[in-house]
A and B are shown apart, each in its own frame.
Chain A
Amino acid sequence: MITAKEVTKHYGEKIALGGVNLNIPKGSIYGLLGPNGAGKTSFIRIMNQINAPDSGEILFDNRPLQIKDISSIGYLPEERGLYKKMKVGEQVLYLAKLKGLTTAQAKERARMWFDRLDMRSFWDKKVEDLSKGMAQKVQFVTTVLHEPELLIFDEPFTGFDPINTNLIKNEIKRLNSEGATVIFSTHRMESVEEICDHIGLINNGAVMVEGPLLEIRKRYKDGTYSFTTTVPFDFEKNTVVSQGESHTGYQTVLKLDDYPKNLMIDLVEKGQLIAFEEVLPTVSDIFIDIVQNGPKQHSL
């Protein structure tokens, strides 16, 4: 869907993006992750053609990004708001028409979305009379109303209450299953882990690792295993990461150099093993690992 080739962007002396290469597959839910100031928003603004890159290019569906692609993108910025004095309905129609819909199309789809998200009573209200949660729903609707192929959410869940977060997450998943490509940009890496299938980790204006989430987590696995046993078991002290009681028994997480074949045989023979699994690193574990040790090449 989106391919970035050596995209750079400077603001005066400051380098925001120093040669970003990314590939966001069509139909994916892609997490663009990194700490604050990593360059995520700079990159998103280039995708939205708000800013132009100093060098490099962005391909949209394998051809250079064009002005007309704006109507194929829905963008919910981190700094988002609405005209306070305008009525909700008028505002939704206005924003939809700016994206290229006709008045009739915009009206029909807005009605549909207002029904779906239980917002019918908002239509004639002024934005300043809405609660924060209501305004967030309106913002979400304005982002998706023109049925874009690509949806970009920058820090989408900051300031959302849990109910709205859940509602919007489900709507986004549904839109994705209907074919939309979704980009989440956030510094709260744990918040998107469950819904992203691809991620790109970005730091100091450069992509450090990118690809399918599961593959990356496997690549960065570090020999961490979890054992749940019926009675406390005396593991080798220097391998234990954490230990505690779980609802079925006693859980111990170990960090080992090799697959613990002998240990498992021992435990099974004693009849004490309830569960065993390999623990994959979380995205933030991977991020810290990369910042400290540098990225790993593809392993087998």
Chain B
Amino acid sequence: MRSPILLIIEREFITRVRKKTFLVITIIAPVLFAALMIVPGVLASLPADHKNIVVLDEPALLLPEVGNDQFALDYLNPKEFDLALAKDYLRDSDKDALLYIPAGEGWDPDFIKRNILLYGKEDIGMELQGFIENRIEDKINRQKLLKQGVDPEVVNQAKTQVNIKSFTLGEEDGQDETSATPLKMGLGYIAGMMIYFFIFFYSVQVMRGVIEEKTSRIVEVIISSVRPYQLMLGKILGIGLVGVVQFLIWIILSSLIYVVVSQFVYPEIFAQQVISGPNGADLSVLETTGIFDMVSSINFPLVLGGFVFYFFGGYFLYSALFAALGSAIDQEADSQQFMLPVTAPMIIAIITAMNVIQEPNGQLAFWMSMIPLTSPITMMIRLPFGIPLWEVALSGAILVASFFAVVGIASKIYRVGILMYGKKVTWKELYKWLKY
């Protein structure tokens, strides 16, 4: 004879894993996730849309600029064309756009900049407009400087770009770590969001399961065989196990897709991406600091371990609350009034995520990572920044302790709630159940 809690875990696990929706979510999520990683690279490598622009440059402001690979500039002779003729020309030609720069009276750059017009056969893209604005700003700046008797070369040389190398001071010399703030911010934010999403996703499934047992009236049969808390815990553990399996499949599948695509389908894009970053963004900041130093400055085992711990801690805590909630109502539609107060701490943790990222060791961050209802999210955001171990240990201990307290309270409500039908439950009522 097996322990009843194992039987319950087994049933919860198997009935969920066998469902079609599980298969669909489990397969589709990694495909989406991999697409998220791959698509930007593929898009960036696509040949850009080439455009021919014809320019009627009355003040000879842009001349002799010819554009770049993407945008080619051709000039019309201002002596032969005015704006109306130039428009006709564009209509009849295979050019894509017409740029009109009027001379106005006495070469006044402020007049010119206000009266430049751009006509396109189709919508003018942001990129084209940006390119032209950029070039014209450059030229006008230059002209203005020359007018004041300043050599633009001097100004260029005076321009300075500062890249500070930042470190986190170690205990001794030589242990200083390269600080990798942007990377840590990104990692912390993503980890926090993922924890939020997963806790919510799986806890709601626990609630649904409880409501299903209640509305189908199977629950009294079950709890005449097992203790109500065993049923509740079995359900929580079974669904948690589904989560673990789903995670593992996601990680394995995502990496597989990533490896296959990056090694075999588009190897050249990924070779390029490592150097230039996604979207061809300028990673000079990262390069000067040393991206490998940065990556190695993050304690990945701690972050990964933390993720697993805080996922389970948070999931157990919230799923117990959701189980109690599910037991108190007859159908999911009634859950709204109780849902918000229960999920409010998680939502607050997400709202304050930006503040925590900006000041990972501030007061707000500290207290939010101690309060068990917010700590799974807030601590996950902070972990990549390197948190004193005692803080992590304390927050973990509080989380575990409150899990036991919450399960105790939740199972009391659960025990009464699952046998209560057709009653509109209030908070006051729930409080009374604690004493039954």
Contacts and interface: CB of A to CB of B under 8 A. Distances in A.
B217 A48 contact: no
Interface residues of B, number: 25
B436 A12 contact: yes
A121 B228 CA distance: 33
A12 B432 contact: yes
A102 B1 contact: yes
A79 B216 contact: no
A73 B224 contact: yes
A85 interface: yes
Given A11-B436, A85-B15, A102-B1, A80 B224 contact: no
Contacts of A85: 15
A43 interface: no
B220 A50 contact: yes
B225 A79 contact: no
Q: How large is the interface on A (under 10, 10 to 19, 20 to 34, 35 or more residues)?
A: 20 to 34
B419 interface: yes
Contact of A75 (B15, B221, B435): B221
A84 B213 CA distance: 9
Interface string B228-268: 10000000000000000000000000000000000000000
Given A50-B228, A86-B15, A98 B7 contact: yes
B436 A95 contact: no
B225 A99 contact: yes
A50 B223 contact: yes
Contact of A79 (B2, B7, B421, B435): B421
A95 B1 contact: no
In terms of DSSP, what is the predominant structure of the interface of chain A? loop
A98 B220 CA distance: 13
A86 B421 CA distance: 23
Contacts of B218: 80-83
Contacts of A139: 221
Contacts of A4: none
Interface in A134-154: 139, 142
B222 interface: yes
A94 B7 contact: yes
Interface centre among B15, B216, B421 (most CB of A within 10 A): B216
Contact of A80 (B212, B221, B223): B221
B10 to A, nearest CB: 9
B144 interface: no
A25 interface: no
A80 B421 CA distance: 12
B40 interface: no
Given A75-B221, A80-B217, A81-B216, A98 B4 contact: yes
Contacts of B51: none
B208 interface: no
Interface centre among B4, B218, B221, B224 (most CB of A within 10 A): B224
A19 interface: no
A229 B225 CA distance: 58
Contacts of A11: 436
A292 to B, nearest CB: 32
A98 B298 CA distance: 48
Contacts of A99: 225
Contact of B220 (A12, A70, A77, A94): A77
A145 B197 CA distance: 43
Interface string B1-32: 11010011001000100000000000000000
A45 B416 CA distance: 12
A98 B419 contact: no
B285 interface: no
Contacts of A82: 216, 218
B226 interface: yes
Interface in B171-226: 212-213, 216-218, 220-226
A94 B11 contact: yes
A176 to B, nearest CB: 20
A100 interface: yes
B1 A100 contact: yes
A82 B226 CA distance: 16
A95 B219 CA distance: 11
A97 interface: yes
B421 A50 contact: no
13 contacts: A50-B224, A75-B224, A76-B221, A77-B221, A79-B217, A79-B419, A81-B217, A81-B221, A83-B212, A86-B15, A95-B222, A101-B1, A102-B1
Closest 7 CB pairs of A and B: A81-B217, A77-B220, A98-B225, A75-B224, A81-B216, A48-B224, A79-B217
Interface of A: 11-12, 45, 48-50, 70-71, 73, 75-77, 79-86, 94-95, 97-102, 139, 142
Given A94-B11, A97-B2, 6 more contacts: A11-B436, A79-B217, A80-B218, A81-B218, A84-B212, A99-B225
